Amino acid sequence: HATKKTMADHLRKFDSIFTLTPQRMRMIVEAFKDTLELGLSKPKQTVPMIPTYVFGWPTGQETGDFLAVDLGGTNLRVCLVTLQGEGKFEITQTKYRLTEEQKQEEGQKLFDFCAECLKTFVDTNLADEASGLRLKEGEKLPLGFTFSYPCSQDRIDHGELIRWTKGFGAVNTEGHDVAAMFRASLAKFDLPIELTALINDTTGTLIASHYVDPKTKIAVIFGTGCNAAYMERVGSIPKIKNLGIDDEAEMAINCEWGAFDSFEHEHLPRTKYDSIVDETSNKPGEQAFEKLISGRYLGEILRLVICELVDEGVLFLGQNTYKLEAPYVFDTAFLSLMESDPTDELLMIIGIFTHFFALETTLAERQFFKALAKLIGRRAARLSACGIAAIVGKMGYLEEGCAVGADGSLYNKYPGFAERVHEGLVDVFGEKGRNIITHHAEDGSGVGSAIIAAMTKIRK
Ligand code: ADP
């Protein structure tokens, strides 16, 4: 009779399906570059390469007080940013948790909630004498709204939601001007605030990173979702030629690259677990690149592998696994924790499985889980490197090198994520790949939003 496979045998199989060779990566980069060019040349492409109407880099001398509201995938953040010039700033912020219901309810109610949080924040922080921030009669505080979903814009203070991503589905919002919707909510609370700029978090991160480090040319987000922005020559954006903007002007482009390879599924290596994640998501077919990379999905991919091995009778024989069977119960933060478990016995992994899932594990199983987390995390980082390499290659930044501002929990908290991205860049470009350095972009979306609001004020 057949000998029983060991956990190491199983691991070999997963190693082969989750590992990306340098050659495969270079193929992905080539396809990615074509996709970026296509998005710049024609409207309504899968990767939409959205013109942001943020013109050029900040000087670093922007100053003043600005509010920023950041509607991310997981949290709502309200910030008061004081730009001090010379690349310096101060920030005060409060985070509010969004519920799954709020993500799906009436869109206007979601914006009402944002305005309500803003009111609470303003009442707390602006009433504070010590803040030194008192508004004159009739004066309004400029607000940058960081709204990190693809919007089509034809000016900076307006934007129509193309489609929700990252699990959002609030009704009566797609196709609507979200800046107008938020203004309507602000009016209900009678706040001394003027929404001056609608910004994507990647664009905010790009501008904030450049404010602090002028070598920054690209920004990337690895959080609930995955996206990038960079600065493009207007002359290289054929789809906006008719606007008559000077070819030599520069404009930030929000790539919305999470959509790369959606629908056709031609270029990215997808496992059957990726297909299940896609098919059971609220938007099947969409955000194909993001679904292999971002925080919302990595834990789920690992959970699906484990569940398959449970069904095959390989794991947790005789134990009740119902707690592990619900979609999305395995947070990507668990992958971080498992990978960083330094103990021989893998005590952290024992803790995760007993505490959250009421399951006993053997050492061999725990070693397997740790190795599996590493495969899934590493694939995500290497795919991210492909996206960065596509922009670097297209823009010709390799020789001179550049900095890439990065933000999001996956980048900031997943052990070794940045190192793996850098390794991936060397696999794509050879030694010159070392010229491209990612670094954590402090408070990207809040500070960037404030700087853009300031740049907008200067332009007016
Ligand atoms: P957002 O994208 O909403 O602005 P974050 O950047 O914090 O917010 O990203 C949230 C995502 O990051 C969630 O999907 C969560 O699973 C994941 N995450 C949170 N903590 C960690 C961690 N320690 N390691 C890896 N991923 C994490």
Q: Is the ipTM of this complex over 0.95?
A: yes
Regarding the beta carbon of 295 and ligand 1, being less than 6 Å apart is answered yes
Residues 364-419: tens digit of each pLDDT: 999 999 999 999 999 999 999 999 999 999 999 999 999 999 999 999 999 999 99
Please state the rounded mean pLDDT for residues 21-42: 98
Catalytic (active site) residue 148: yes
Predicted pLDDT of residue 357: 98
**Interhelix angle for 295-311 vs 332-339, to 10°?**
80
Under a CB-based contact definition with an 8 Å cutoff, are residues 223 and 73 in contact?
A: yes
**Catalytic one among 70, 201, 274, 407?**
201
Q: How far is the CA of 385 from the centre of ligand 1 (A)?
A: 19
Predicted pLDDT of residue 378: 98
Report CA 116 to chain centroid distance, whole Å.
25
pLDDT at 457 over 90: no
Catalytic (active site) residue 163: yes
Regarding the beta carbon of 413 and ligand 1, being less than 6 Å apart is answered yes
Q: How far is the CA of 27 from the centre of ligand 1 (A)?
A: 29
Q: What is the SS3 assignment for 90?
A: strand
Regarding the beta carbon of 105 and ligand 1, being less than 6 Å apart is answered no
Q: Among 164, 277, 409, 413, which residue has the most ligand 1 atoms within 8 Å of its CB, making it the best to mutate?
A: 409
Q: Among 332, 335, 384, which residue has the most ligand 1 atoms within 8 Å of its CB, making it the best to mutate?
A: 332
Residues 250-270: tens digit of each pLDDT: 999 999 999 999 998 899 999
Regarding the beta carbon of 333 and ligand 1, being less than 6 Å apart is answered yes
**Catalytic one among 70, 77, 112, 163?**
163
Regarding the beta carbon of 414 and ligand 1, being less than 6 Å apart is answered yes
Confidence label for 140 from pLDDT (cuts 50, 70 and 90)? confident
Give the chain's length.
Answer: 460
Residue 331 Cα: closest atom of ligand 1: 16
Regarding the beta carbon of 166 and ligand 1, being less than 6 Å apart is answered no
In this structure, the residue with its CA closest to atom 20 of ligand 1 is 333
Predicted pLDDT of residue 459: 56
| Range in 139-153, 207-221, 249-263, 378-392 the model is least confident about | 139-153
In this structure, the residue with its CA closest to atom 4 of ligand 1 is 72
Which domains are present in the chain? Answer: 1-57+214-443 (3.40.367.20), 58-212 (3.30.420.40)
Predicted pLDDT of residue 443: 73
Regarding the beta carbon of 103 and ligand 1, being less than 6 Å apart is answered no
pLDDT at 135 over 80: no
Residue 409 Cα: closest atom of ligand 1: 6
Q: Which residue has the tokens 């794991």?
A: 315
Residue 73 Cα: closest atom of ligand 1: 3
- Edge-to-edge strand ranges of the sheet holding 141-147: 88-97, 75-85, 63-71, 141-147, 193-199
Predicted pLDDT of residue 128: 58
Q: How far is the CA of 225 from the centre of ligand 1 (A)?
A: 9
Q: How far is the CA of 41 from the centre of ligand 1 (A)?
A: 33
Please state the rounded mean pLDDT for residues 136-147: 85
Predicted pLDDT of residue 87: 84
Residues 71-112: tens digit of each pLDDT: 987 889 999 999 998 888 999 999 999 998 999 999 999 999
CB burial class (10 A; 0-12, 13-18, 19+) of residue 371? middle
pLDDT at 1 over 60: no
Buried b (16+ CB within 10 A) or exposed e, 18-44: bebeeebbeebbebbbebbbebbeeee
**Catalytic one among 77, 112, 148, 294?**
148
Regarding the beta carbon of 223 and ligand 1, being less than 6 Å apart is answered yes
pLDDT at 2 over 60: no
In this structure, the residue with its CA closest to atom 9 of ligand 1 is 223
Determine the Cα angle at 351 with ends 347 and 357, to 5°.
145
Chain mean pLDDT for the chain: 93
In this structure, the residue with its CA closest to atom 24 of ligand 1 is 333
Report CA 351 to chain centroid distance, whole Å.
29
Predicted pLDDT of residue 252: 98
Half-sphere exposure of 186 (CA within 13 A, CB side): 21
Regarding the beta carbon of 293 and ligand 1, being less than 6 Å apart is answered no
Tokens of 200: 């994507």
